[in-house]
């Protein structure tokens, strides 16, 4: 089957011509396109999303998670990590178990992402301070053994954090630094222990200063560290997003950090146990603190192009780089790779989404 597109992003480069799919995989690229229109890009992989379409991954039942798996394909997502804010350990454990029990009939399960509970009380963001914990091996083991945990965000300056990073890495959990007051010395020590990511650059962490770069500065200059960013024009200005993109290069990972309100418009919603007000693209707590987002991955792709990235660079940040950060085979669209892809129109809106070669969404 040919897609009928005019070009595709293959291994991070734009290749003119059509794409053929056979037996759920990419069979050929650069085929004669004829009158083909549209751009095929690797399916989007959201490493950090708290919910979508009215479903909160902190409380979602299995059938609700499956419903979101299908709904996310309309935004071009073919794989995602349901993300938990800081909750009581028992609540986090039960949520992870439900994540792992779902069937994911649409976008694939990338494992759970635990954003907490080992975060700094100085930079909690929307996380309840009273639920934050100091690193605890037994609590971490309890959470990791609850189901398929793929990633944990933690503050490396907390007592015992470096040893906990080593433990998590030994269990196959990717560690990202965030919600942290760490300086660059501690950040580098955490990277040496195996941490490989920075959670939402510039947000809810020690600010980057010219003599005190913190975790953000340390991550931006480390060639082995992935830098995630919420490119919604709310969490970062266009200029700062462009700085992050230029510094990180192919280590830039676009995330949504979305909450259940994403896709539902304005109103009052919940994020874990917190009440959140959404007006336009901005979600805030009652005190004005930015809480999560209502960003979608297709909008993130468009915003990346808007700040100056090429189409190929935007595709890397929304698919290939997240896959590399997660340690899974990158969906490159090279022949032989799984046919998990998105067809975008001239305005970079999602026309169709394919998973394992089957069309799961069409507009």
Catalytic residue numbers read 257
Token pair belonging to 285? 């707590």
Instruction: Give the three-class secondary structure for 299.
Output: helix
The secondary element (H helix, E strand) that includes residue 280 is none
CA distance 220 to 213: 10
**Residues facing residue 51 across a β-bridge:** 56
Instruction: Give the three-class secondary structure for 306.
Output: helix
344 and 6 Cβ atoms separated by less than 8 Å: no
56 and 64 Cβ atoms separated by less than 8 Å: no
Token pair belonging to 54? 């009215």
**Residues facing residue 284 across a β-bridge:** 277, 290
Pairing state of beta strands 25-31 and 282-284?
A: unpaired
109 and 96 Cβ atoms separated by less than 8 Å: no
Rg (the chain; Cα; Å): 19
DSSP line for 41-97: EEPEEEEEE-EETTEETTT--HHHHHHHHHHGGGGTEEEEEEEE-S--HHHHHHHHH
């Amino acid at each position: 089957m040919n897609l009928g597109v005019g070009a595709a992003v293959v291994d991070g480069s734009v290749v003119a011509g059509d794409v053929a799919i056979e037996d759920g995989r990419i069979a050929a690229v650069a085929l004669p396109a004829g009158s083909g229109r549209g751009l095929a890009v690797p399916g989007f992989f959201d490493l950090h999303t708290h919910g979508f379409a009215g479903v909160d991954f902190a409380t979602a039942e299995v059938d609700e998670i499956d419903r979101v798996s299908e709904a996310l394909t309309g935004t071009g997502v073919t794989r995602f990590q349901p993300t938990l804010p800081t909750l009581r350990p028992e609540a986090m454990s039960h949520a992870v178990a439900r994540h792992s029990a779902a069937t994911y009939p649409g976008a694939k399960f990338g494992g759970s992402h635990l954003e907490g509970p080992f975060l700094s009380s100085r930079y909690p963001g929307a996380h309840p301070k009273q639920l934050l914990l100091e690193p605890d091996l037994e609590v971490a083991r309890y959470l990791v053994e609850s189901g398929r945990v793929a990633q944990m965000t933690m503050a490396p300056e907390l007592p015992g954090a470096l040893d906990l990073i080593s433990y998590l890495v030994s269990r196959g959990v990717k560690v990202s630094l965030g919600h942290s007051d760490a300086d660059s010395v501690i950040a580098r020590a955490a990277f040496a222990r195996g941490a490989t990511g920075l959670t939402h650059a510039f947000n809810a962490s020690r600010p980057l200063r010219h003599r005190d770069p913190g975790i953000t500065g340390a991550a931006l200059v480390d060639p082995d560290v992935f830098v995630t960013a919420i490119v919604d024009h709310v969490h970062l200005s266009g200029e700062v997003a462009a700085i992050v993109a230029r510094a990180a290069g192919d280590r830039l990972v676009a995330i949504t950090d979305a909450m259940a309100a994403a896709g539902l418009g304005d109103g009052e919603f919940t994020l874990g146990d917190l009440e959140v007000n959404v007006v336009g693209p901005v979600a805030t707590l009652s005190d004005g603190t930015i809480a999560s987002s209502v960003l979608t991955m297709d909008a993130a792709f468009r915003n990346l192009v808007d700040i100056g990235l090429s189409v190929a660079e935007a595709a890397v940040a929304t698919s290939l780089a997240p896959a590399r950060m997660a340690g899974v085979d990158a969906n490159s669209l090279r022949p032989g790779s799984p046919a998990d892809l998105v067809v975008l129109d001239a305005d970079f809106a999602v026309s169709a989404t394919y998973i394992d070669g089957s069309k799961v969404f069409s507009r």
